Structure 1
Amino acid sequence: MTQNTPAPVPSSSEQPARRSTAIDAVATSYYETLLELIPNFATELGIAGHETEYQDYSPAGIEALAEAARNTLRLLEGLQPADDVDAVTLDAMRERLGLDLEIHEAGYSFAELNNIACPAQDIRAIFDLMPTATAEDWGNIAGRMANVPGAIEGYISSLRAGRERGHVAARRQVEIVIEQSAKYAEDGGFFDSLGTTERGDDGELPAPVREQLRAGAEAARGAYRSLASFLQDDLLPTAPEKDAVGRERYALMSRVFLGSAVDLEETYQWGVEELDRVIAEQEAVANEIREGASIEEAMRILDEDPARQLHGTDALQAWMQDLSDRAVDALAGVHFDVPDVMRRLECRIAPTNEGGIYYTGPSDDFSRPGRMWWSVPEGEDSFTTWKETTTVYHEGIPGHHLQVATATYQRALLNPWRRNAIWVSGQGEGWALYSERLMQELGFLADPGDRLGMLDAQRMRAARVVFDIGVHLELEIPERWGEGTWTPDKGYDFLKKNIAISEGQLNFEYTRYLGWPGQAPSYKIGQRLWEQIRDEVRTSEGDAFDLRAFHTRALNLGSVGLDTLRRALVSAS
């Protein structure tokens, strides 16, 4: 079955089918508008009809998205919820779309540029999700490559518009995207690998398709050369040296990633204290690994253990898949509700070398499963399992896969906007980090090495709270970590002491935090808010509290802001 053929997906046994309401109709209409305005979003969902298209990245396209949000909010005025599901939809739409418009009106939507999450990467990354079985599939790939120049041209015009409004990304971000764009455009690079394809999964490709692929690849490479030239010659000379975005912008972006307005100073201080607490816990586990060992010595012991080593990306992929499969088998029906259609999760090595590990959700009909991707930096070929066991739980089950696929599955309960078109990092990444700690509580990290790996991940996320808020708001450095106010250079040294990853990964992460303000802390802050909400519900329900039932109720809401999540769960308990 190809990705574009709808597969029957059973409705959830946990929730009865509900009648569509006026609020559902508004949400569904907005969702359908998004599919028209963002064709690559349709590809992400595996929905047919937009296989070769891109969204309009120009100022006109950005304004069209803003107008769709304005119109949707107007249509919601005066509508009253028919049930609890409607109440959450109304709450979530007002919060999310309202923030979209705040960002648009401030002009930030015209200046999106960083090393991980902007059109420069998105235009390329959509090819990772396109089917490759048939000649028709490869014709679609060729067609979309041929449309890369238009997408890049629109993006460049928006960056110009952003500059006119006084918004240009920091020099560091412009330089890294120049490097990325040049790499996409180089001979033998990503697009060349597509353009020289001669066989699909179903056999040899016809000559006309192979020619279209060659032409499309050349067009895409040329577009990225143009982007690199524009960034180098036009944008870079106007890019500010300063990385810190300041309090006003940071507070806005923090709300975007959390769905909650937190006290930034209190959260910063909590991050400092949480980092100290995690380090103390690491020291205790290090002593379990070898009596008297420091954290660094314990890590070295684990790194040198042959039983914990993997060599080559094939071994890494096989290990990820095996651990993921075992986690699904152990958790499904015991600790979590996992319908059969959600039990398939693919682990893959990403086709890029930019660094990072990430998850992509299933297609709307589940014919394409959820996938865990590992982008391995160039030159890295050895991996240690003790660090990454918790990563598999974070990206798979009970982390992102359980969360995202549950929302996709709930077609009998949620409208398509709720299921597929909303993602709040603090709720989503907070859940995944909450899941890592939960796996320890459930006994899946009994091995001291794996537990130290989980704590290493927790330490990294706590350090990111301190770094991100501290650097962007230029706060005072805690005495333990230095003196004066935070700067990026001081922050790099701090991260190096607190994040046990390779130099390539550290450089990627450091640049990411500086260019994507508010996103990195959303993991740990989100975990904190998830735990607070769980404890509030536990207190309210007393002896009747059931953890598995709480998780099911929470995940069935889909991804919503953390304030919306609290209102939905605490008021219902």
Structure 2
Amino acid sequence: MSFESSEQRSPSLLDASCEVFVHDMAALSPTDATAWGIPGFEGELEDFSPEHWESVAERCREMVADIDAFDDSTDDSDDEDDFDEVDHVTAAVLRDRLCLIADKHHRGEYLRLLNNIESPVQTIRDTFLLMPSDTDEERDAIRTRLGKVANSLEGYRESLAESAAHGKVASHRQVDEVISQCEDLADSGSMLEGLGVDPRDAEVAAAKRAFGEMADWLGEQLAPHASHEDAVGRERYEMFSHEFVGDVVDLDEAYCWGLEQVRDIAAQQQGIATQLYGEGTSVKQAYRNLNHEERYRIEGVDALQQWMQETADKAIAELDGKHFTIPEEVRTIEAKIDPSGTGGIFYTPPSDDFVRPGRMWWSVPEGQTVFHTWQELTTVFHESVPGHHLQLGQTLAEGDDLNLWRRVACWNSGHGEGWALYAESLMAELGYHEDPGTRMGLLDARRLRAARVVLDIGLHLGKKNPEGTGVWDYSYAKSFLRENTAMDEANLQFELLRYLGWPGQAPSYAIGERLWHQLRHDAQAQGMSTREFHEQALSYGSIPMSILREELLD
């Protein structure tokens, strides 16, 4: 599919239905409305109760029924009600994504949802990062939403309790971590005190108290029932893998491929270590040496933020018009420091009208003041351009062809995170890692992504570890991760907990990148240039890789 016709496409009945669907979902999940930039729900907050999850699933089922009804009325005539080329893609993506939501709801996955990165506590916490606080009206919205935190957490407890009654509880590691996060939000110095409203306001105090009560409930009521098993098993893992990759993955083949990648990348890194520091220098020693080189050293969070901003701005200026056509609205990005301090690095897209710009966030752990550009240059490319910022900004700029759901609400990790890794390797192709230090950083990032394919699949499927000395468990996973990354201990611990509590998500990066490279190879074999491939592939928005492949290739 290509959107190069001189005639502007008129919105279809399916597009109109999607528009209604997005606004209905925004009403059900106001935090999503904030993320999508849909106004009218700023002071609202969903309650994450069993009734909430049932309402979401029911609305998804209704939307699938609408698609089926539209599809049944489509025939070979030229009636304006018929699906066009864009509608067929939209329908396929909707069925894939919404049926997964319904399936997960049927299995009770949302009731038990609790982990260190992507569950209701983090959703509630992080929505405030996206809320502006410049006007009295905006500050009132923050206060109103803060005032609803207690009710939201109460509904969340109802879901967790119902799931626990059926013996479905997250692992004790995840429960302990969320307790810690809730305590941080309840304590003096909480990020809730820095939202742009007076930290002495009653709503701030009430929200902090609610998180403290949540921590107590988790410790007293849920933790005694928490599982001591980290693995989720093959059946659940296959569902999560399909959700995140957007394709059916041969997990056993992917595990073996990941091991091969780890070994190959390690060999490349050893070559650079020898090149930089001479024979006998290990990769780990090269990491330490690079960390002591002043040219790669940044001191202070403010300096880190400035470096992130300057690096992203330079990439946009140099790539635009040469390797990509970057829409005017996407040429602005903001580098931000996330006050939560969890150690994660992430991107939040612009609002649909681009009033809120795209932002890359660095969540600096408490006490960390020194940063190393050799290791992190590739991260900026991942989050900004040509990574997430270009990818998601390009999707929003396709307003004439992609409906609201396709633009703001449809996200597939294999496509999105796979593209961001592809963008990292592309920058090496384009000459941005000629410096052996930053090349080592790129390879460190690639080795980590390959290693977590192995770790994630190995642990959750209960495979034998690579040495054959036993099966994967927490201790082995931690040592394997430490062996295959240069990240510090605080970030490493956060990452490991993320893999244990969010199964299938971490491998979607490297597996998704693999699918992107395969797709580019096949598109070029059909005569498409690299720039044409990029522009056409990104024009579809973030859709499952299996559907993108069907549509892009002849």
1:126 deviates by: 0.6
Q: Is residue 272 of structure 1 aligned with residue 259 of structure 2?
A: yes
Report the equivalent of 2:244.
Answer: 257
How far apart, CA to CA, are the structure 2 residues paired with 1:286 and 1:90?
A: 50
> Runs of 5+ in structure 2 lacking a partner?
75-81
Selected match of 1:225 from 197, 212, 221 = 212
Q: For residue 430 of structure 1, what is the amino acid of its counterpart? A: G
Task: Summarize the alignment of residues 374-393 of structure 1 with structure 2, pairs less than 5 Å apart.
Answer: 374-393=362-381
How far apart, CA to CA, are the structure 2 residues paired with 1:192 and 1:39?
A: 22
How far apart, CA to CA, are the structure 2 residues paired with 1:124 and 1:135?
A: 21
Cα displacement string for residues 92-117 of structure 1 (whole angstroms, at most 9, x for unaligned residues): 00100011111010111111100001
Q: Is residue 551 of structure 1 aligned with residue 534 of structure 2?
A: yes
1:132 deviates by: 1.3
Selected match of 1:315 from 290, 300, 303 = 303
Report the equivalent of 1:521.
Answer: 507
Report the equivalent of 2:442.
Answer: 454
**Residues 47 and 154 in structure 2, CA contact (< 8 A), matched pair in contact too:** no
Report the equivalent of 2:112.
Answer: 111
What TM-score do you get using the length of structure 2 for normalisation? 0.95
How far apart, CA to CA, are the structure 1 residues paired with 2:220 and 2:501?
A: 20
Q: Is residue 537 of structure 1 aligned with residue 523 of structure 2?
A: yes
Q: For residue 94 of structure 1, what is the amino acid of its counterpart? A: R
Report the equivalent of 2:427.
Answer: 439
Report the equivalent of 1:567.
Answer: 550
Aligned CA distance change for structure 1 residues 123 and 356 (closer, same or farther; 3 Å):
same
How far apart, CA to CA, are the structure 2 residues paired with 1:286 and 1:23?
A: 56
Q: Is residue 395 of structure 1 aligned with residue 379 of structure 2?
A: no
Q: For residue 159 of structure 1, what is the amino acid of its counterpart? A: L
Task: Summarize the alignment of residues 368-379 of structure 1 with structure 2, pairs less than 5 Å apart.
Answer: 368-379=356-367
Aligned to 1:347, the other structure's residue is in SS state strand
Q: For residue 397 of structure 2, what is the amino acid of its counterpart? A: Y
Report the equivalent of 1:291.
Answer: 278
How far apart, CA to CA, are the structure 1 residues paired with 2:153 and 2:4?
A: 45
Q: Is residue 90 of structure 1 aligned with residue 91 of structure 2?
A: yes
Aligned CA distance change for structure 1 residues 424 and 477 (closer, same or farther; 3 Å):
same
Report the equivalent of 1:488.
Answer: 474
Q: Is residue 412 of structure 1 aligned with residue 400 of structure 2?
A: yes
Aligned CA distance change for structure 1 residues 33 and 490 (closer, same or farther; 3 Å):
same
1:164 deviates by: 2.3
How far apart, CA to CA, are the structure 1 residues paired with 2:386 and 2:274?
A: 29
How far apart, CA to CA, are the structure 2 residues paired with 1:330 and 1:82?
A: 40
Between 23-32 and 225-234, the greater mean CA deviation after superposition: 23-32
Aligned CA distance change for structure 1 residues 146 and 373 (closer, same or farther; 3 Å):
same
How far apart, CA to CA, are the structure 2 residues paired with 1:90 and 1:360?
A: 26
Aligned to 2:110, the other structure's residue is in SS state helix
Aligned to 1:77, the other structure's residue is in SS state helix
Q: Is residue 336 of structure 1 aligned with residue 324 of structure 2?
A: yes
How far apart, CA to CA, are the structure 2 residues paired with 1:528 and 1:274?
A: 11
How far apart, CA to CA, are the structure 2 residues paired with 1:422 and 1:18?
A: 20
Report the equivalent of 2:36.
Answer: 45
**Residues 179 and 218 in structure 2, CA contact (< 8 A), matched pair in contact too:** yes
Report the equivalent of 1:353.
Answer: 341
Q: For residue 495 of structure 2, what is the amino acid of its counterpart? A: E
Aligned CA distance change for structure 1 residues 402 and 15 (closer, same or farther; 3 Å):
farther
Task: Summarize the alignment of residues 475-514 of structure 1 with structure 2, pairs less than 5 Å apart.
Answer: 475-479=463-467, 483-514=469-500
Q: Is residue 18 of structure 1 aligned with residue 5 of structure 2?
A: no
**Residues 133 and 195 in structure 2, CA contact (< 8 A), matched pair in contact too:** no
How far apart, CA to CA, are the structure 2 residues paired with 1:424 and 1:531?
A: 17
1:16 deviates by: 5.4
Task: Summarize the alignment of residues 125-164 of structure 1 with structure 2, pairs less than 5 Å apart.
Answer: 125-164=126-165
Cα displacement string for residues 318-361 of structure 1 (whole angstroms, at most 9, x for unaligned residues): 00001000000001111111011110000011111111100000
**Residues 284 and 486 in structure 2, CA contact (< 8 A), matched pair in contact too:** no
**Residues 15 and 413 in structure 1, CA contact (< 8 A), matched pair in contact too:** no
How far apart, CA to CA, are the structure 2 residues paired with 1:90 and 1:136?
A: 39
Aligned to 1:348, the other structure's residue is in SS state strand
Selected match of 1:427 from 407, 410, 415 = 415
**Residues 277 and 286 in structure 2, CA contact (< 8 A), matched pair in contact too:** yes
Q: For residue 164 of structure 2, what is the amino acid of its counterpart? A: R
Q: For residue 549 of structure 2, what is the amino acid of its counterpart? A: R
Aligned residues between the structures:
541
Aligned CA distance change for structure 1 residues 16 and 486 (closer, same or farther; 3 Å):
farther
How far apart, CA to CA, are the structure 1 residues paired with 2:53 and 2:252?
A: 33
**Residues 36 and 409 in structure 2, CA contact (< 8 A), matched pair in contact too:** no
How far apart, CA to CA, are the structure 1 residues paired with 2:93 and 2:335?
A: 32
1:193 deviates by: 3.3
**Residues 16 and 412 in structure 1, CA contact (< 8 A), matched pair in contact too:** no
How far apart, CA to CA, are the structure 2 residues paired with 1:524 and 1:56?
A: 34
How far apart, CA to CA, are the structure 1 residues paired with 2:550 and 2:305?
A: 40
Selected match of 2:23 from 22, 32, 52 = 32
**Residues 26 and 38 in structure 2, CA contact (< 8 A), matched pair in contact too:** no
How far apart, CA to CA, are the structure 2 residues paired with 1:275 and 1:137?
A: 48
Cα displacement string for residues 371-420 of structure 1 (whole angstroms, at most 9, x for unaligned residues): 00000111111010000000000000000000111111111110000000
**Residues 476 and 486 in structure 1, CA contact (< 8 A), matched pair in contact too:** yes
Q: For residue 450 of structure 1, what is the amino acid of its counterpart? A: T
Cα displacement string for residues 7-35 of structure 1 (whole angstroms, at most 9, x for unaligned residues): xxxxx999853111222223222212111
Aligned to 1:36, the other structure's residue is in SS state helix
How far apart, CA to CA, are the structure 2 residues paired with 1:218 and 1:285?
A: 53
Identity %: 44
How far apart, CA to CA, are the structure 1 residues paired with 2:189 and 2:345?
A: 24
Report the equivalent of 1:246.
Answer: 233
Selected match of 2:55 from 64, 83, 87 = 64
> Runs of 5+ in structure 1 lacking a partner?
1-11, 199-209
How far apart, CA to CA, are the structure 2 residues paired with 1:17 and 1:468?
A: 45
Report the equivalent of 1:202.
Answer: none
Q: Which runs of 4+ in 1 moved over 4 A?
A: 12-16
How far apart, CA to CA, are the structure 2 residues paired with 1:374 and 1:192?
A: 19
Cα displacement string for residues 169-208 of structure 1 (whole angstroms, at most 9, x for unaligned residues): 001100100010011011231223348x45xxxxxxxxxx
1:286 deviates by: 2.2
1:446 deviates by: 1.1
How far apart, CA to CA, are the structure 1 residues paired with 2:444 and 2:421?
A: 12
Task: Give the superposed CA RMSD.
Answer: 1.5
How far apart, CA to CA, are the structure 1 residues paired with 2:178 and 2:5?
A: 45
